[in-house]
Structure 1
Amino acid sequence: MPSPGCRGQCQELFLKVFARSVGIGLLCELILVTTNKNIKILLNYVIGPVVFCLLAWSIYRQLLRQNNWQQSLQHAWRAIIGAEAWKLVLALVLMLANWGLEARKWQIVINRVQHLSFIQSWKAVFTGTTLAFFTPNRIGEYMGRILYLDEGKRVKAISLTIVCSMGQLLVTWWAGIGGILYLKAYGNTELLHTFAPHTLLWLTMLLYFTVAVAVILTLFYFRLAGLVRWFEKVPRLQKPVSYIRVLESLNATILFRILSLSVLRYSVFIGQYYLLFDVFDVHVTATQVAGSVSVIFLVLSIVPTIAVITELGVRWKIGIEVVQLFDSNITGILATSLAIWIINLVIPALIGSLLILGIKIFNNRK
């Protein structure tokens, strides 16, 4: 730490983040370089607008790289100005419910290390969404959330945030297993075996892989405290274990609450897809929506993607492969995937980029 004579001139912040949850290994190291007061002000008040502009430009470039993007935008525009516009508004409202549920989940677990209000938790979730937009499989989300915590508590918060992600991942994978079984049983049999035989093959492979990993992950999820105590017995793991010992405070009641909120959040996703499929003339029943969308989410959770670069393309591709088993309106499927991407990822990321303005990442020490 700088001496008293250097206070106000320079400040060195070194944050080494390390968290390990059995079944999911994560090494996050964030080095904040020594800087003076003017640079601190520059970073605190310029980073938000810069991220906002970069995000908008990246989204524009991403859309231009996709096939049929003009048709998708035309469908979206007709829906916005048509009689079905209220369903788009409702989907936007559900976006707030979606991230509100996620904020509540994070608030429940993070209170083990620091008390946060629901509004603070909500802001942290939106900020995490912004950083997740630029990182593979949304791992930057952890970094964005812990910026709202005191410096001495950020390391422990990483492992707690991972638990939230594990809860949502469990719901996604078990629902995906049900979705695969549904598609194989009730999908368009002729299309599966004639026009898309490869779809049947990868569905079968995906089913076996998902069942195996989901069982293991479920066991890990409900045995976190026992696993921490087991790691404590290994001398070489004493330092890493000190970062995740807080997981011992998560009893079965808290873990089930996380799962319950994850199920509610998943239901919100399904509801949004159901509304938007109807808006864009994709004629599928509620059961078909649940079955197909669960497989889409399952694949998105497995395939390495970066939201700002590749995720939209993956959503379009897997959406076509799966939903066409029930309806052949490819343009409607593309438009729905685009709308979901904008509502659930782009808009929250833009909101989070503005919230970064209010975060004092580099605080002056008195």
Structure 2
Amino acid sequence: MKIMITGLCIYFIGTRVDIFNINLSEAFDQPDAVITYLLVLVLMPFNWALEAEKWRVSIPHEASSFQEAWHRVLAGLALNWVIPLTLGDVGGRLLNVRNPKKSAGALLINRTILLSITLLFGGISVLYYFGWYGHWVLVVPVVLIAVVLLMLRNDGKPSIWLRVLVLSVVRYALFTFQFYLILRLFMPELSWYLVLLGIGWVFLFRSFIPSVFGHFGVREASAIVFFQAYLSDVSIVLIPCLIIWLINTVIPSLIGTVYVFKLKLNIAQ
């Protein structure tokens, strides 16, 4: 399924953009390009550090250190390249835990909260793009978050999930800021709110549509669908999409392969 979807996305991109004639030198011809890339690169470890801290806070019963959570998150990111439906992330986080049932429940709640945030901001983008009315739809993800938090009141520690919610929002904002910086390099003529709406749109489709190469293809295709209504040359969006993919997915995945071997060693022990 992932191969088929990736193939369809790449085919769609090929029908809209002449991939072989994209001038990659444009990536460095933009004003302040190097400074922007360095800033986005510096923010990358903070992005994943927030995710690791979020996971550590979610599993107090494991008494996990930040370093252990960091290793598990990046190992899961690396495993996602070979295990479908983001089950690599599940494996990376749940291997060798002392209480698999509680930890699996924590992971499910984590994903529900993040999905609700993605639905909230992505829903705004969808409504704007199609000119639809009925903003009550945006209440749904908010209600989802509220229901999750209320259900956990019996756990006696509602503050834990409030912290997870805050960390999730901050991480979403940081990821959005990274993507925004790069997109603005290539699309300075677009209004800031259109760029932000496009990012919400891309994150929404990236969260629901699986791909072989860590969302590669889905991100680019969804960006073309949104921005082609506002740009005369939509091919310009491919370069920033590739750059953010390399910085925020490929580089941490390569780092995560080191921790995959450590996980294997732990299993052997």
Specify if TM > 0.5: yes
2:246 alignment counterpart? 342
> What is the CA-CA distance between 1:314 and the residue it aligns to?
1.6
Letter in 1 for 2:78: T
Given candidates 69, 86, 91, the residue that maps to 2:40 is: 91
Write the distance in 2 (CA, Å) between the matches of 1:338 and 1:125.
22
* Bigger helix fraction: 2
Write the distance in 2 (CA, Å) between the matches of 1:318 and 1:257.
31
Unaligned runs of 5+ in 1: 1-60, 185-199, 230-247
Given candidates 123, 133, 140, the residue that maps to 1:177 is: 123
Given candidates 62, 80, 94, the residue that maps to 1:146 is: 94
Q: How does 1:163-242 map to 2 (within 5 A)?
A: 163-181=109-127, 183-184=128-129, 200=130, 204=132, 211=138, 214=141, 217-225=144-152
Change (3 A) 1:361 1:119: closer
Write the distance in 2 (CA, Å) between the matches of 1:93 and 1:63.
30
2:4 alignment counterpart? none
Given candidates 213, 226, 229, the residue that maps to 1:308 is: 213
Change (3 A) 1:143 1:211: same
Letter in 1 for 2:106: L
1:326 alignment counterpart? 230
> What is the CA-CA distance between 1:363 and the residue it aligns to?
2.9
Given candidates 64, 68, 71, the residue that maps to 1:120 is: 68
Rg comparison, structure with higher value? 1
Write the distance in 1 (CA, Å) between the matches of 2:257 and 2:53.
21
CA contact (8 A) 2:81 2:213 kept: yes
Write the distance in 1 (CA, Å) between the matches of 2:257 and 2:8.
18
Change (3 A) 1:333 1:282: farther
Change (3 A) 1:134 1:217: farther
1:102 alignment counterpart? 51
Write the distance in 2 (CA, Å) between the matches of 1:210 and 1:134.
35
Change (3 A) 1:146 1:285: same
Residues 201-241 of structure 1: CA distance to partner in whole angstroms, max 9, x if unpaired? xx759x88964852563343123337xx7xxxxxxxxxxxx
Instruction: Please state whether the residue corresponding to 2:217 is helix, strand or coil.
Output: helix
Letter in 2 for 1:295: W
CA contact (8 A) 2:149 2:161 kept: yes
Residues 148-180 of structure 1: CA distance to partner in whole angstroms, max 9, x if unpaired? x44x32332111122222221121111122223
Write the distance in 2 (CA, Å) between the matches of 1:123 and 1:292.
32
> What is the CA-CA distance between 1:345 and the residue it aligns to?
1.5
CA contact (8 A) 2:56 2:66 kept: yes
1:237 alignment counterpart? none
CA contact (8 A) 2:49 2:70 kept: yes
Change (3 A) 1:164 1:62: same
2:268 alignment counterpart? 363
CA contact (8 A) 2:9 2:221 kept: no
Write the distance in 2 (CA, Å) between the matches of 1:128 and 1:332.
32
Residues 292-346 of structure 1: CA distance to partner in whole angstroms, max 9, x if unpaired? 111211122223x13427x322211110111233333322211111112222222
Change (3 A) 1:322 1:275: same
> What is the CA-CA distance between 1:125 and the residue it aligns to?
0.9
Instruction: Please state whether the residue corresponding to 1:122 is helix, strand or coil.
Output: helix
Aligned sequence identity (%): 26
Letter in 2 for 1:91: V
TM (norm. structure 1) is 0.62
Write the distance in 2 (CA, Å) between the matches of 1:121 and 1:291.
32
> What is the CA-CA distance between 1:282 and the residue it aligns to?
5.4
Which region of structure 1 is more displaced relative to structure 2, 131-140 or 114-123?
131-140
CA contact (8 A) 1:320 1:330 kept: yes
Write the distance in 2 (CA, Å) between the matches of 1:110 and 1:101.
15
Q: How does 1:252-263 map to 2 (within 5 A)?
A: 253-263=159-169
CA contact (8 A) 1:134 1:306 kept: no
Letter in 2 for 1:345: T
Change (3 A) 1:355 1:102: same
Aligned residues: 257
Unaligned runs of 5+ in 2: 1-6
